[in-house]
């Protein structure tokens, strides 16, 4: 009887170990630049993904350098755009109409790159705030990549919420301008997707490692 119990437990233990390995979060900081507020009527013009670390439920490991970067510029998918959006990101929409990658190629290559970066665990997307960048990337992955989103439909981390919870402040007071000096990045915010994704990855690691503080005068 005891041998029978042992025999049944061994594969269960192996399965648990496998599940624990897959439960590790592999984070990617994401930034998008667009020509309008929503995907479909408007277009994703560029985006960047930066490897930002891992967390296995106990230990967070930040990358030694923020040099694992994926960046693409895309052809617009519609004629509609908002001039003010282009003024912010500085992208030449006419050039992208001629030279940008097709959304199908860009999203396929992004999926392949994310997969190449994840040995154990599952990829999770990080943004500040998450709602804008996730909306665009999830829509584009779902619409243009045959395998869909490499982040599933919900593997995502809202850095704004994380900061608000650790700081003990409301969401409405947790914008980037409220980040404490000790948590601020060394990388500049330029409205270029690569720069901003790297900057965000720095903030993410700083906030993740921060023990938090209640009652901040922010």
Q: Give me the active site residues, please.
A: 191
**36: Cβ–Cβ under 8 A, 6 or more apart, which residues?**
42, 43, 80, 81, 82, 85
What is the distance between the alpha carbons of residues 11 and 6, in angstroms, rounded to a whole number?
A: 10
Peptide bond into 129 cis (omega under 30): yes
Strand locations in the chain, DSSP E?
25-34, 44-55, 60-61, 69-73, 122-127, 156-158
């Amino acid at each position: 009887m005891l041998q029978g119990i042992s025999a049944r437990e061994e594969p269960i233990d192996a399965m648990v170990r496998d599940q624990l390995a897959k439960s590790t979060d592999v984070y990617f900081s994401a930034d998008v630049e667009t020509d309008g507020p929503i995907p479909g009527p408007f277009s994703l013009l560029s985006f960047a993904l930066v490897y930002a670390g891992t967390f296995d439920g106990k230990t967070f490991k930040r990358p030694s350098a923020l040099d694992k970067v994926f960046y693409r510029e895309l052809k617009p998918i519609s004629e509609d755009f908002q001039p003010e959006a282009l003024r912010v990101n500085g992208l030449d929409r006419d050039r992208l109409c001629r030279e940008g990658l097709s959304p199908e190629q860009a999203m396929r290559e992004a999926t392949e790159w994310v997969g190449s970066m994840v040995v154990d665990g599952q990829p999770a997307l990080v943004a500040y705030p998450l709602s804008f960048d996730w909306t665009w990337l999830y829509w584009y992955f779902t619409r243009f990549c045959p395998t869909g989103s490499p982040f599933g439909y919900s593997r995502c981390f809202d850095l704004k919420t994380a900061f608000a919870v650790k700081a003990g402040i409301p969401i409405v007071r947790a914008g980037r301008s409220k980040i404490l000096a000790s948590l601020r990045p060394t990388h500049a915010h330029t409205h270029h997707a690569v720069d901003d994704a790297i900057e965000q990855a720095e903030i993410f690691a700083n906030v993740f490692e921060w023990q938090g503080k209640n009652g901040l005068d922010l």
